[in-house]
Amino acid sequence: MEDLSTFASDFYLFLESGFIAVNQCDEDAARKLFDAASLLDPDNPLPKVGLGYMHLHKLEIQKACDYFYAVLDKDPGNEMANTFLGLCLTMTPDRVAKGEKLLMQSTSSSDGLIKDLSNSALRFVDSVIKKDPTPLEVKNSSTKRR
């Protein structure tokens, strides 16, 4: 087996390619790319964040949370894992408030992308998750055939 240090400079290439594969719904490629990145730098939490992101895209919320919690256990200050965990928790009916709290913490991030993601997620929670379903129920009941 060849020395992996030859490919150490490709860590971020594998990682970014994994995120792109997730966005293109290519789970097999994403998993392989995150695994390759993890082989190159086993102590870096970002491949686990990527796997959590993949499960979030598949709406496998508990699996995604498990990855984000694992990252936060080792690196409590990881803003990306914290923000994605907050997003996941807001999609779980009994943990919306906890998710909002995590997202609110992320809005003060020095990383502009994390800040934008958390602000967008909070707007989503307000407009979709917390939206009063009554108008839809009333509309559906009034259109029933007799």
Range of the domain at 100: 64-129
d(CA 113, CA 120) in angstroms, rounded, equals 10
The pLDDT value recorded for residue 146 is: 45
Q: Is residue 69 part of a domain?
A: yes
Q: Is residue 88 part of a domain?
A: yes
pLDDT in tens, 58-91: 999 999 999 999 999 999 999 999 999 999 999 9
Question: Please, which pLDDT band fits residue 132 given cuts at 50, 70 and 90?
Answer: low
Q: Is residue 91 part of a domain?
A: yes
The pLDDT value recorded for residue 143 is: 53
Q: Is residue 6 part of a domain?
A: no
pTM here is 0.83
- Looking at every residue in the chain, the average pLDDT score rounds to 89
Total domains in the chain come to 1
Is the pLDDT score of 140 beyond 90? no
